[in-house]
Amino acid sequence: MDVKTKKDLAVEFINEIRTMDPADLNALIVKEAGEELAQFFLNYSANLISKDPSRVLENTSSLMLMGYLIRTHEERNRPDKGNVLQGYAFA
């Protein structure tokens, strides 16, 4: 069994979406997050970056981590309480 770390999974996913056709990426965002959540993140990031443009790198990293934490929070609070991350090594 190929055991992947959280970093391995993140790199794999980022490489996938980086090469994705823009229309396909947009469809994925709409399917997985929905328009409302996509708009929320757009507004939140614009607000965050406009407050201190010199910290764009730190803010981008924070936004990516926030998205990850939201996902793990959602998984922990799923109605079926299933852990879809089983089988992976954690960093």
DSSP summary character for residue 85:
T
Q: What is the pLDDT of residues 11-54, one digit of tens each?
A: 999 999 999 999 999 999 999 889 998 999 899 889 988 998 89
Q: How far apart are CA 86 and CA 88, in angstroms?
A: 6
Q: What residue type is assigned to position 15 of the chain?
A: N
The answer to whether the beta carbons of residues 42 and 34 sit under 8 Å apart is no
At 83 the pLDDT is: 53
